[in-house]
A and B are shown apart, each in its own frame.
Chain A
Amino acid sequence: MFPALALSMQQLQPAASLPLLSCLRRAYSTSGAAAATNWFSHVEMAPRDPILGVTEKFLADKNPDKINLGVGAYRDDNGQPVVLESVREAERRVAGSHFMEYLPIGGLRDFVSESVKLAYGDDSPVVAAGQVAAVQSLSGTGSCRLFAEFQRRFMPHSSVYIPVPTWSNHHNIWRDAGVAQNGYRYYKPETRGLDFEGLMEDIKNAPNGSVFLLHACAHNPTGVDPTPEQWQAMSKLMLDKSHFAFFDMAYQGFATGDCTRDAAAIRIFIDDGHRVGLSQSYAKNMGLYGQRVGCFSLVCDSAAEAAKVESQMKLIARPMYSNPPLHGALLVSKILHDADLKQQWYQEVGVMAARIKDMRGLLRHNLQQLGSPHNWQHITDQIGMFCYTGMSGEMVDTLAAAHSIYMTRNGRISMAGVNTKNVARLAEAMHAVTKEAKM
Chain B
Amino acid sequence: MKTTASPRYGPGAPQRAALLNKPAAAVVANGSRLAGVEMAPPDPILGVSEAFKASKDPNKLNLGVGAYRTEELQPLVLEVVKKAEQKMLAAGYNKEYLPIEGLDAFRQATVQLLLGSDSAAVKEGRVAVLQALSGTGSLRVGAAFIARFMKGTTVYISNPTWGNHRNIFGDEGVEWKYYRYFDPDTVGLDFKGMVEDLTAAPDGSIVLLHGCAHNPTGVDPTPQQWQEIADLCKAKGHMPFFDVAYQGFATGDLDKDAFAPRLFVDNGLEVMVAQSYSKNLGLYGERVGALNVVLSDADAAKSVLSQLKRLARAIWSNPPTHGARIAAEVVGDADMFELWKSEMAGMAGRIAKVRGELQAALESRCPDRDWSFITKQIGMFSFTGMTPQQVDNMTNKHAVFMTRDGRISLAGLSSSKVAYLADAIVDSVRNH
Contact = CB atoms under 8 A, between A and B. Distances in A.
A291 interface: yes
B285 interface: yes
Q: Which of A104, A125, A244, A319 counts the most chain B CB atoms within 10 A?
A: A319
A151 B2 CA distance: 27
Interface stretch (B313-321, B371-379, B406-414): B313-321
Given A95-B89, A290-B96, A321-B137, A275 B32 contact: yes
Contacts of B67: 101-102
A38 B287 contact: no
A182 interface: no
Contact of A14 (B152, B268, B278): B152
B34 A154 contact: yes
A173 B314 contact: yes
Interface string A165-200: 000010011011000000000000000000000000
Given A41-B300, A98-B77, A169-B317, A18 B202 contact: yes
A104 B137 contact: no
A141 B315 contact: yes
B390 to A, nearest CB: 27
Contact of B140 (A82, A87, A320): A320
Interface in B1-58: 1-10, 12, 28, 30, 32-40, 42-43, 46, 50
Nearest to B89: A95
B40 A37 contact: no
B168 interface: yes
B150 interface: yes
Contact of B96 (A10, A34, A37, A289): A289
Nearest to B132: A321
B286 interface: yes
A321 B134 contact: yes
Q: Which of B30, B99, B237 counts the most chain A CB atoms within 10 A?
A: B237
A273 B12 contact: yes
B133 A289 contact: no
Contacts of B316: 138-139, 141-142, 145, 292, 321
Q: How large is the interface on A (under 10, 10 to 19, 20 to 34, 35 or more residues)?
A: 35 or more
Interface stretch (B185-193, B302-310, B418-426): B302-310
Contact of B75 (A88, A101, A291, A321): A101
B39 A102 contact: no
Contacts of B3: 129, 131, 301-302
B417 interface: no
B164 A318 contact: yes
Contacts of A34: 268
A320 B137 contact: yes
B287 A323 contact: yes
A46 B287 contact: no
Nearest to B312: A141
B203 interface: yes
Contacts of A45: 302-303, 306
Interface string B172-215: 00000000000000000000000000000011100000000000
Contacts of B63: none
A373 B406 CA distance: 77
A100 B283 contact: yes
Interface string A277-289: 0000001000111
A328 B319 CA distance: 12
Interface string B49-91: 0100000000000000101000000010100011001100100
Given A81-B96, A319-B167, A25 B237 contact: yes
A39 B304 CA distance: 11
Contacts of B33: 155, 209, 244, 275
A290 B297 CA distance: 31
Given A52-B99, A87-B95, A130 B1 contact: yes
A113 interface: no
Contact of A100 (B75, B150, B152, B319): B75
Nearest to B317: A141
Interface string A289-323: 11110000010111101011101101110111111
Interface string A14-31: 110111011001001100
Nearest to A91: B89
A13 B35 CA distance: 40
A37 B133 contact: no
A81 B287 CA distance: 24
A209 B31 CA distance: 13
B284 interface: yes
A292 B318 contact: yes
Nearest to B2: A129
A71 interface: yes
Contacts of B75: 99-101
A180 B350 CA distance: 53
Contact of A83 (B95, B285, B296): B95
B311 A176 contact: yes
Contacts of A300: 32, 34
A22 B237 contact: yes
Nearest to B301: A40
Nearest to A34: B268
A17 B150 CA distance: 11
Q: Which of B5, B167, B300, B314 counts the most chain A CB atoms within 10 A?
A: B314
B98 interface: yes
B293 interface: yes
A33 interface: yes
Interface in A227-281: 239-240, 242, 244, 272-275
Interface in A324-342: 324-328
A118 interface: no
Contact of B134 (A10, A25, A101, A322): A322
7 contacts: A19-B203, A22-B237, A37-B234, A46-B303, A100-B283, A154-B34, A176-B315
Given A240-B10, A290-B321, 16 more contacts: A33-B266, A46-B303, A55-B99, A83-B95, A95-B89, A100-B284, A131-B3, A138-B133, A141-B315, A172-B310, A291-B95, A291-B321, A300-B34, A308-B40, A322-B46, A322-B134
The 4 A-B residue pairs whose C-beta atoms are closest, nearest first, are: A14-B152, A36-B296, A326-B285, A290-B321
